[in-house]
Amino acid sequence: MFLPREELQCGVFDSSVLRGNKVKSAGRRVVNFELELFHREGGVSHVGDGTYPARRGMLLCAKPGQTRYSDFPVRCSYIRIQPRKDSEIDALLAAAPDCLYIKDEGIVEELMALFTKLCSVLIGAAPERAVPNGIRSNGILLDILYRLQRLWQGSGDVAAKTPIHRIAADAYEYFNEHYAEDCSLKTVAAALHVSPNYLHSVFLREVGVTPFAYVTDKRVRRAKRLIAAGEKSMLEIAMETGFCSQSHFNKVFREATGQTPAAYRRRLLEQY
């Protein structure tokens, strides 16, 4: 089936560039089929009732009518395809799982190259103009979809990902909202009505890091943004990001970044 170029969109989304200091995207209802191939670990995508921690090689396929949003940071290549009634492409994408993790790095690299090639053709920047761009873009898209279909059918190179465990998802939301407050394992476990040991094991299994490491990363990331803004003292930043003292802030920040908060600020000023 031939798709006009106006029915296709593609590119690279990087929340650190396009969303600045925002920590999540607004919830929205999906209109097109949305394919996203993630470049790196970081952030979490919420599609329908599923919650999916980002990993390099994570492939999302959101369908029209689903609701979705993302917790940043996120970087991914994307393709948007307008639905067409009774099309084979619609049927393929509608039946695809919302999320899969591609294990084979070679396959990830090949797909990323094809996503990039499709984007180059659609914006008219690709060479070899002997073939009309509309035909070339459809050819690349069909190549991508053929590869994805094989993966979705279970070639052994993909691990299907079911939605994250509800306890881990609830803890994730709690940490995102309260990371600057008391986020001890005991406190969060009590709020979720589970034991600390159970919360720790489920969160580590589902998200890939311990609750302590996740909260620390959130605090350090927020501290970096406040340091870059240059409007608050280090003590104010320490208190605002949940550290018990400036010395504790200095210690954790240095362990995470290899430099003290003051040195980090000096480096930013020197770059400016």
Phi then psi for 87, rounded to 5 degrees?
-85, 150
Residue 130 confidence (pLDDT): 46
Residue 6 confidence (pLDDT): 75
Ordered strands of the 67-71 beta sheet: 28-29, 67-71, 44-47, 50-53
pLDDT one-digit tens code per residue, 172-210: 888 888 989 988 999 999 998 888 999 999 888 877 789
Query: In the chain, which ranges are continuous DSSP H helix?
Result: 15-18, 88-95, 105-122, 133-152, 166-178, 185-192, 196-207, 211-229, 234-240, 246-257, 261-271
User: Do β-strands 50-53 and 158-160 pair in parallel, antiparallel, or remain unpaired?
Assistant: unpaired
Q: What is the pTM of this model?
A: 0.62
**Residue found by looking up tokens 């302590």 in the block:** 212
Q: What is the mean pLDDT of the chain?
A: 86
Flag whether pLDDT at 267 surpasses 90. Answer: no
Flag whether pLDDT at 79 surpasses 90. Answer: yes
- What is the C-alpha radius of gyration for the chain, rounded to an integer number of angstroms? 21
Flag whether pLDDT at 240 surpasses 90. Answer: yes
Q: Cα separation of 156 and 270, whole Å?
A: 50
pLDDT band at residue 162 under the 50/70/90 scheme? low
Flag whether pLDDT at 127 surpasses 70. Answer: no
Residue 164 confidence (pLDDT): 65
Q: Cα separation of 35 and 98, whole Å?
A: 9
Flag whether pLDDT at 46 surpasses 60. Answer: yes
